[in-house]
Amino acid sequence: MNLRKKKEELSDLISSFLTDEANIQDLQDFAWTIIDYFSEKPPEQLPPLEDFENVFWYAIWQVQHLCSEDHVNDGNANRGLKETLNYLNFKKPLPKDFFGKRPVGPK
């Protein structure tokens, strides 16, 4: 799996969501595909860690947290994902106390 490509896909998908061209199910499906892939593979079968992964995984976990009907209806999904998109595209630095890690797969 090419995580640089997946980072760009996630950025495009969040942008599409923010312009009403994608829905929460599209975001959830994308995030779960990535999470499942990393959860099911032993570490030696995964790509090496890359320098942008902290922000990538932060974005994946934000999608999981924010993509619910409640958060869409109260506006938190849009606000949170807009901020996450800025981090993902390096328009704003990810705060030091924000982090995202790969899921841990089988040993």
Output the CA–CA distances (angstroms, integers) from residue 96 to 10, 44, 58, 93, in the order listed: 22, 28, 12, 9
Q: What is the pLDDT along the chain (107 residues), one digit of tens a residue?
A: 999 999 999 999 999 999 999 999 999 999 999 999 999 999 899 999 999 999 999 999 999 999 999 999 999 999 999 999 999 999 999 999 998 999 988 87
Query: Model's pTM, two decimal places?
Result: 0.93
Q: Is 85 helix (H, G, I), strand (E, B) or coil?
A: helix
What's the pLDDT at 105? 81
Count CB atoms within 10 A of the CB of residue 56.
21
